[in-house]
């Protein structure tokens, strides 16, 4: 058994490895979830109207969805192995709780999702139009429910409910409590809305590129109707989903103020309990992992009290008071997360959320008033904003996971106590390097396939295609 500094070093390396793999994997997840909804909506529009450009739109963005889904599956498999390899103590501790939701996700959501994707790909000229449409909506149900069950496990780590401690491990006593707790509901809604935003920005950027390319080539662009409709629809979805993200995030923060007060106090760099509590707009403190003060803090009076408690003079507990309480409850130790990372990830996520809402609403207004005459600016802003939802998603995960430290399961199991006792630092470094190399190759493949598909464009128009006459199977 390793002790002391060696254990801490290995725990840090284990955390880095998991962070690298989960952040990389989560680049694909929101696109998969969001594009599934977009493609299903596009095919539904074709089925209801019979307009051929909706069919071509479905098949074009369906290719992007399938490329992303395949790469997402490959990167997601690693997560399952890491629990057993690097986090065996954690796996034993939570296994009796996580078994049910993760089994449902794997056996029901994922396998059914994969089956329906196969039927959708190869069923264009083999299934009736209605049955084929049902396949893509079942894919949507699979991807969405898969996210729900995985998030249920993560929500339990943030707020353990419906369990009892037996023989040093948690055992589930109520599946309903695990699946339906308020934090889980807000996590799920927040993630789905963020996924729609991410996919929406991808649809907007791809449409903008195709529209600009058509204008450069001159003449009547046969794809203009297709991509204008796609971009306009994606802007509407992005605007609506941005509102949902902001509202749900507000209620999510209110839950965390009660259940994870240290996380939210760190997110506001609030060291002392205050009533009323101001909202920090910009704080600068010592360059340390655990500073004990802020040197500069520009605040909005009463702001945090109103947002967190719905009261003008509501009390918000500070880092120092929570630290004293945790020491009395759990024993000696530092229960403060890295303040800087939590504080700035919180602000990056919120800022981007409002920026994307402004962006989508502004361009909907411009298109409504002036049409597509500013397509060059539309394309430039679409490219510039494409990376923002990915940055916001990453910031949200950093806030969620790093803000919980030093706990891997809030109040029950500390992170440095959860690692595999027989896995050394050298082994973790070797696997981390291997994962990074493989993921680099996969990223290059992913980028090449996506760019190639977008540059190639949609399939040629096929005059006379109706809802009863689908094109040949979608192959690429």
DSSP for 260-289, written as a single string:
-HHHHHHHTT--S-BSS-PEEEEEE--SSS
For residue 325, tell me if it sits in a domain.
no
Both structure tokens of 414: 């500390």
Of all helices (H) and strands (E), which one includes residue 164? strand 163-166
Report the C-alpha gap between 275 and 203 in whole angstroms: 45
Question: How many angstroms separate the Cα of 35 from the Cα of each of 9, 169, 197, 300?
Answer: 40, 39, 10, 38
Of all helices (H) and strands (E), which one includes residue 166? strand 163-166
Report the C-alpha gap between 466 and 304 in whole angstroms: 56
Q: At what angle do helices 182-217 and 425-456 cross, to 10 degrees?
A: 40
Closest CA to 144 of 122, 113, 117: 113
Residue found under tokens 């690097």: 86
Domain count across the chain: 1
For residue 432, tell me if it sits in a domain.
yes
The pLDDT value recorded for residue 475 is 37
Report the C-alpha gap between 273 and 320 in whole angstroms: 8
Do the Cβ atoms of 340 and 384 come closer than 8 Å? no
The pLDDT value recorded for residue 106 is 76
Do the Cβ atoms of 171 and 164 come closer than 8 Å? yes
Report the C-alpha gap between 389 and 234 in whole angstroms: 14
For residue 286, tell me if it sits in a domain.
no
Q: What is the pLDDT along the chain (476 residues), one digit of tens a residue?
A: 445 557 678 888 888 888 888 888 888 889 999 999 999 999 999 999 888 889 999 999 999 999 888 877 777 777 777 777 788 888 889 888 888 888 888 777 777 777 888 899 998 888 888 999 999 999 999 889 888 998 998 899 999 999 999 988 999 999 999 999 999 999 999 999 999 999 999 999 999 988 887 665 554 466 788 889 999 999 999 999 999 999 998 898 889 888 899 998 888 888 888 888 888 888 887 777 778 778 887 888 888 888 888 888 888 898 999 999 999 999 998 899 998 889 999 999 999 999 999 999 999 999 888 877 666 788 899 999 999 999 999 999 899 999 898 999 998 999 888 888 887 788 888 888 888 888 888 888 888 998 999 988 887 765 544 444 444 444 33
DSSP state of 110: I
The pLDDT value recorded for residue 426 is 83
For residue 364, tell me if it sits in a domain.
no
For residue 469, tell me if it sits in a domain.
no
Question: How many angstroms separate the Cα of 110 from the Cα of each of 18, 76, 148, 283, 331?
Answer: 22, 12, 12, 43, 42
For residue 415, tell me if it sits in a domain.
yes
DSSP state of 342: H
The pLDDT value recorded for residue 462 is 56
Residue found under tokens 């491990």: 169
For residue 337, tell me if it sits in a domain.
no
Structural domain of 420: 1-250+401-456
In angstroms, what is the C-alpha Rg of the chain?
24
Do the Cβ atoms of 421 and 7 come closer than 8 Å? no
Do the Cβ atoms of 396 and 349 come closer than 8 Å? yes
Phi, psi of 92 (to 5 degrees): -65, -35
- With b for 16 or more beta-carbon neighbours within 10 A and e for fewer, the 197-214 pattern comes to bbbbbbbbbbbbbbbbbb
SS3 433: helix
Cis peptide leading into residue 406 (ω within 30°): yes
For residue 103, tell me if it sits in a domain.
yes
pTM of the model: 0.90
Both structure tokens of 250: 């507000």
Report the C-alpha gap between 166 and 169 in whole angstroms: 6
Report the C-alpha gap between 410 and 157 in whole angstroms: 6
The pLDDT value recorded for residue 146 is 87
């Amino acid at each position: 058994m390793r002790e002391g500094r060696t254990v801490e070093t290995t725990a840090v390396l284990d955390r880095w490895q998991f962070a690298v793999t989960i952040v990389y994997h989560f680049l694909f997840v929101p696109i998969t979830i969001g594009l599934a909804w977009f493609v299903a909506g596009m095919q539904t529009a074709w089925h209801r109207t019979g307009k051929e450009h909706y069919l071509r739109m479905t098949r074009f963005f369906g290719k992007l969805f399938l490329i992303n889904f395949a790469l997402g599956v490959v990167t997601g498999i690693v997560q399952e192995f890491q629990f057993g390899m690097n986090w065996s103590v954690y796996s034993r501790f939570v296994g009796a709780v996580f078994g049910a939701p993760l089994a449902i996700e794997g056996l029901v959501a994922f396998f059914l999702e994969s089956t329906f994707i196969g039927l959708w790909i190869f069923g264009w000229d083999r299934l009736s139009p209605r049955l084929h449409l049902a396949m893509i909506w079942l894919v949507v149900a699979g991807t969405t429910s898969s996210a729900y069950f995985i998030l249920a496990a993560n929500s339990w780590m943030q707020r353990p409910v419906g369990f009892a401690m037996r023989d040093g491990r948690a055992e589930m006593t109520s599946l309903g409590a695990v699946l339906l707790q308020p934090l889980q509901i807000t996590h799920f809604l927040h993630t789905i809305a963020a996924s729609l935003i991410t996919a929406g920005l991808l649809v907007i950027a791809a449409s903008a590129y195709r529209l600009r390319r058509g204008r450069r080539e001159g003449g009547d662009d046969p794809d203009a109707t297709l991509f204008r409709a796609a971009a306009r629809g994606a802007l509407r979805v992005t605007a609506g989903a941005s509102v949902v993200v902001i509202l749900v995030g507000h209620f999510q923060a209110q839950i965390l103020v009660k259940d994870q007060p240290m996380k939210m106090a760190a997110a506001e760099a609030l060291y002392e309990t205050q009533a009323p509590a101001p909202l920090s707009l910009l704080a600068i403190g010592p360059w340390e992992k655990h500073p004990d003060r802020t040197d500069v803090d520009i605040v909005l009076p009463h702001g945090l009290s109103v947002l967190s408690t719905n009261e003008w003079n509501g009390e918000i507990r500070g880092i120092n008071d929570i630290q004293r309480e945790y020491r009395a409850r759990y024993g000696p130790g530092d229960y403060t997360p890295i303040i800087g990372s939590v504080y700035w990830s919180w602000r990056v996520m919120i800022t981007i959320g409002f920026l994307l809402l402004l962006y989508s609403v502004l361009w909907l207004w411009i298109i409504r008033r002036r049409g597509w005459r500013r397509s060059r600016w539309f394309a430039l802003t679409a490219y510039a904003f494409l990376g923002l939802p990915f940055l916001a998603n990453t910031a949200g995960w950093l806030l969620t996971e790093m803000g919980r430290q030093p706990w891997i399961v809030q109040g029950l199991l500390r992170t440095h106590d959860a690692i595999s006792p027989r896995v050394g630092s050298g082994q973790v470094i070797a696997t981390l390097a291997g994962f990074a190399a493989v993921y680099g190759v996969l990223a290059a493949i992913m980028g090449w396939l996506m760019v190639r598909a977008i540059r190639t464009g949609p399939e040629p128009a096929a005059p006379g295609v109706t809802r009863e006459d689908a094109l040949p199977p979608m192959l690429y």
